[in-house]
Amino acid sequence: MNPDLSAFPGDNGFPFIGHTLAFIRNPRLLAADRFRRHGEVSRVNIAGNRGVLLLGPDANEFLTLDREKVLSSRAAYEPFLKDTFPDALGLLDFDEHAHHRRILQSAFKKDAMLDYVDLLQDSAAAAIESWRPSSPFLFAPQVKLLLFNQAALLFMGESQGEEAARLIGHYTRAAAGTVALIRLMIPGTAYWRAVRSSLLLRRILQDKIPGKRANPGRDLFSHLCFARSEEGEVFTDDQIVKHMLGLMSAAHETTTSAIVAMAYALAKYPEAQERVRTEIREAVGDGAPSYEALDALAFTTRVFQECLRLWGSSHTMPRKALRDVVYKNYTIPAGTMVFISPSFVHRQPEFWTEPDRFDPERFGDGRKEHRQHRHLFMPFGGGAHKCIGMHLAELQLKIFFVNLLRRYRLALPDPAYEMKTKYVPVPESADGLPLLLTPV
């Protein structure tokens, strides 16, 4: 039974579907429309979930810090993920989440990151070298394929080949099930295939654990098999497998989205592209990029941040209230879905100068627009659930562009072209992002 939200401004949208179609078309524009009509607190109905939409950096802080421990991530996400990506870190709440995150953190310390940099460099260099760009070149599908192969290598230590293709196939089918409309185990349906692939993938990973422990590699799976918190806590084999699936789910699509957005920006703004290329040449040189050299790419980092602000995958975050909670004089009843929209906040004109303009220098030392509020800029979430792999994602993106910009200049086939985006479940190019790649 839906909680009574009649005290909140707004409406429930169309019968049955609510605001779902507007959300699918563009969740940021839906949030902007609700803000214009009703302010920073309003009713919303998305995919049958009648809830409240809270807008602004204060709302971001309220949801992500959750000081009263009343807003559940598990209750919000589990209906979509429990059969395909069960007990992933993002589904855990409160003390259980903190326990698992403490252990996982050891797989993202500097010694592990140095291993990952080597794996990512080798695979990115080989993949981009193998490209034979047509004119125009559909960029997004090639990046997605490259990142699939990197996922097999980085997460599981499997190089390209039959085993890597098998693992990627199972993962792809499992991921497709998260947005399946018919969520019943009917043979032949997308959901049925997703659950079967998830079970098969878990079994494959479970069988690989003894080998990883006996002969560890540089991949994340190996690091996870030996993960240990400072208090000596470790994972069971079942927990290792479930976290492997969860990390892949959280990382792959979002990193693909970020790389495609940055390629679009560099093609559209050639002066920024040349600054990034020059910075790479000066900081990295012609060899393999070191961890320290990648960290020194200051302007590249600002471009990355601006792409995340304008086109990042963090468009909506849900939680479910486990009991009544108060936000700005509104009592949110137990059982209510609570949504925030970081992508809307990332373009609020109250905080950002010309918010729709591409301007990496807004993140520079002279301006630091993102520092006006601790929860104004949230491309990787915030609070206890802030993305544990955010630094790895940044390294992966920088390594990709080090190799790409050494070899090619990027341009749009038409100066008037605007990137077309499909937003659900995560933002991705709707037309493959056609680019012109010219050898440097």
Q: Is residue 360 part of a domain?
A: yes
On whether the CB atoms of residues 84 and 178 are closer than 8 A, the answer is yes
What the block records as the tokens of 278 is 């020059």
Mean pLDDT, rounded, for 417-435 = 89
User: Which pLDDT value is given to residue 125?
Assistant: 92
Mean pLDDT, rounded, for 367-389 = 96
On whether the CB atoms of residues 85 and 198 are closer than 8 A, the answer is yes
Q: Is residue 51 part of a domain?
A: no
> Lowest-confidence range among 141-150, 164-173, 372-381?
164-173
**What amino acid occupies position 418?**
E
User: Which pLDDT value is given to residue 2?
Assistant: 78
Closest CA to 92 of 338, 388, 325: 388
* pLDDT tier at 371, thresholds 50, 70, 90: very high
Residue located via tokens 């009713």: 43
Average pLDDT of the chain to the nearest whole number: 93
* CATH number assigned to the domain comprising residue 171: 1.10.630.10
Q: How far apart are CA 44 and CA 31, in angstroms?
A: 9
- Given a cut of 80, whether residue 251 has pLDDT beyond it is no
Q: What pLDDT, in 10s, does the model give residues 174-211?
A: 988 887 878 889 998 999 999 999 999 999 999 999 99
Can you give the C-alpha Rg of the chain in angstroms?
A: 22
What the block records as the tokens of 354 is 């010309």
Q: Is residue 399 part of a domain?
A: yes
- Given a cut of 70, whether residue 247 has pLDDT beyond it is yes
Closest CA to 235 of 293, 246, 338: 246
* pLDDT tier at 249, thresholds 50, 70, 90: confident
- Given a cut of 90, whether residue 377 has pLDDT beyond it is yes
Q: Is residue 125 part of a domain?
A: yes
Kindly list the strands in the beta sheet with 317-321, ordered across the sheet, starting from the edge strand earlier in the chain: 41-46, 49-54, 337-340, 317-321, 71-72
Instruction: Give the angle subtended at the CA of 386 by the CAs of 83 and 95, to the nearest 5°.
Output: 70
Task: Confirm or deny that 387 is annotated as ligand binding.
Answer: yes
DSSP per-residue string spanning 90-146: GG--HHHHHHHHHHHGGGGSHHHHHHHHHHHHHHHHHHHHH----SSEEHHHHHHHH
Q: How far apart are CA 342 and CA 199, in angstroms?
A: 33
On whether the CB atoms of residues 276 and 401 are closer than 8 A, the answer is yes
For the chain, what is the domain count? 1
On whether the CB atoms of residues 55 and 40 are closer than 8 A, the answer is yes
Residue located via tokens 């078309």: 25
Q: Is residue 35 part of a domain?
A: no
Q: Is residue 394 part of a domain?
A: yes
User: Which pLDDT value is given to residue 165?
Assistant: 79
User: Which pLDDT value is given to residue 321?
Assistant: 98
Q: Is the pTM of this model over 0.85?
A: yes
Q: What pLDDT, in 10s, does the model give residues 348-363?
A: 999 999 999 999 999 9
Q: Is residue 188 part of a domain?
A: yes
- Given a cut of 90, whether residue 156 has pLDDT beyond it is no
Q: Can you give the residue range of the structural domain that contains 383?
A: 56-407+425-433
Q: Is residue 33 part of a domain?
A: no
For residue 335, the SS3 value is: coil
DSSP per-residue string spanning 385-435: GS-TTHHHHHHHHHHHHHHHHHHEEEE-SSTT----EE-SSS-EESS--EE
